[in-house]
Amino acid sequence: MSEAIEFDEKEAAETERSYLTPDIAATRAVVMELLAPGPGERVLDVGSGPGMLLRDIAGAVGPSGLAAGLDISESMLAIARHRCRDLGNVEIMAGDATALPWPDAHFDRAVSTQVYEYVSDLGLAFAELNRVLKPGGRAVIMATDADTILFNSTNDATTSRIREAWPRHCAHPFLPRELGRLLGESGFELVGRKAHVIVNHEFNRENFGWHVARAMSVYAAKQGAIAKEDGMAWIAGLRELDATGAFFFSVNRYLFLTQKCQS
């Protein structure tokens, strides 16, 4: 059985739902602040997923600018194209982060959130990102370290098995630890770093932690790390904690602001 998560129709729809939560809307605001796209600029979103960030970028660059998205998943592309159907300054392409379908020095800025974790050949992907940026062009890359995902639970043994299985869902589950070095080796200068923490004290669909709990327990059961019933009991335990005010979820996002070296 494949270990990597595939963004098929079901997974893309689940991801879209989780990215509509206020937690992820707030995270996008942090990304936009660091990216700071200006009117008339051409901005690339690598792995644009359901397209919420593309909409934000399109608003910031205005009618004379361009928000360009690229994704490898047909299901994600369909969601993003639908979400951005009324915007004339959005272009959405199918493709792989390791082979960007744009000419050299095409973009003023670029962004990629929660994507490079899934890309095996990061040397190739960052070389491509560097190629399509103008000299001095800035890129914001955001990634999560799987070890920062925390749940209070009623069954610590199941929590451990779920947390141990989860890093297998992508190629680079601990990417933030090496991202600065990798970008430096790919012709980028680090301009700034930021950490953004998502914390939930309630367990319901409006909170990102609800979606993470679902995704991680379903994945662990599919991988045989826990029985399906144990996953359901674990979720029931989180609901019990919620009822007594003892639910806790937290995850860290790490943002890297980089600039393409001039020479």
Ligand X SMILES: C[S@@+](CC[C@H](N)C(=O)[O-])C[C@H]1O[C@@H](n2cnc3c(N)ncnc32)[C@H](O)[C@@H]1O
User: Minimal distance in Å, beta carbon 181 to ligand X?
Assistant: 21
Binding ligand X (rule: CB under 6 A), the pick from 43, 60, 110, 119 is 119
User: Minimal distance in Å, beta carbon 25 to ligand X?
Assistant: 11
Q: What is the dihedral of CA 247, 194, 83, 91, to 10 degrees?
A: -160
- 219: contact with ligand X by CB under 6 A: no
The residue (of 114 and 259) whose beta carbon lies closer to ligand X is 114
- 259: contact with ligand X by CB under 6 A: no
Cβ-contact 256, 193 below 8 angstroms:
yes
- 115: contact with ligand X by CB under 6 A: yes
User: Minimal distance in Å, beta carbon 97 to ligand X?
Assistant: 4
CA distance 44 to 58: 11
Backbone torsions φ then ψ of 100, nearest 5 degrees = -75, 130
CA distance 238 to 159: 11
- 72: contact with ligand X by CB under 6 A: yes
The residue (of 87 and 246) whose beta carbon lies closer to ligand X is 87
What is the distance in angstroms between the CA of the first residue and the CA of the last residue of the chain? 45
Q: Which DSSP state fits 99? A: B
- Candidates 64-72, 102-110, 153-161, 205-213; binding stretch for ligand X (CB under 6 A): 64-72
The residue (of 71 and 230) whose beta carbon lies closer to ligand X is 71
The residue (of 97 and 175) whose beta carbon lies closer to ligand X is 97
Tell me the two tokens of residue 199.
């914390």
Query: Which among 72, 28, 23 is positioned nearest to 46, based on CA atoms?
Result: 72
Give long-range contacts, CB 8 A cutoff, 24+ apart: 58-63.
58/84, 58/87, 58/89, 58/90, 60/32, 61/37, 61/89, 62/89, 63/88, 63/89
- 47: contact with ligand X by CB under 6 A: yes
The residue (of 47 and 209) whose beta carbon lies closer to ligand X is 47
User: Minimal distance in Å, beta carbon 114 to ligand X?
Assistant: 4
Q: Which residues of this protein are in contact with ligand X, per CB under 6 A?
A: 7, 15, 19, 47-50, 52-53, 70-73, 76, 96-97, 113-115, 118-119
